Amino acid sequence: MSLPDEEVQKIGSDVLDVLRSIYDPEIPVDIYELGLIYDVQVSDEADVHILMTLTSPNCPVAESMPEEVREKTRSIDAVKNVEVELTFDPPWTKDLMSEEAKLELGIL
């Protein structure tokens, strides 16, 4: 059964809130503002697909970070299934960071 658009949007908003609560262990900025989240899709069946990257392919949290994203997103009551896809295309650069993150890190 398909969810109404308002519920899908609410789930999407809740997912973004969760992503903003996850911090890169090496950089004191959440992964959303850091630009590590490329895309979040919520289906009308409450399945979530997150396309993300890491600051580098050799990142020490390459295995644990996607799992943390999956587990925390799955903890949202309305979410049924979560798929986290890791990509390095395009590679992450500082240009992907939000203005807020750049200010936080003194890059602006």
Q: List the 82-86 sheet strands across, edge first.
A: 37-42, 48-52, 82-86
Tell me what percent of the chain is helix, strand and coil, each rounded to the nearest 5: 30, 15, 50
Walk me through the domains of the chain, giving residue ranges and CATH numbers. Answer: 5-92 (3.30.300.130)
Q: How far apart are CA 57 and CA 32, in angstroms?
A: 18
* Tens-binned pLDDT, residue by residue, of the chain (108 aa): 789 999 999 999 999 999 999 998 888 899 999 999 999 999 999 999 999 999 988 888 888 999 999 999 999 999 999 999 999 999 999 999 999 999 988 987
**Sequence-separated (6 or more) residues with CB below 8 Å from residue 35:** 92, 95, 96, 97, 98, 101
Residue pair 80/47 in contact (Cβ under 8 Å)? The answer is: yes
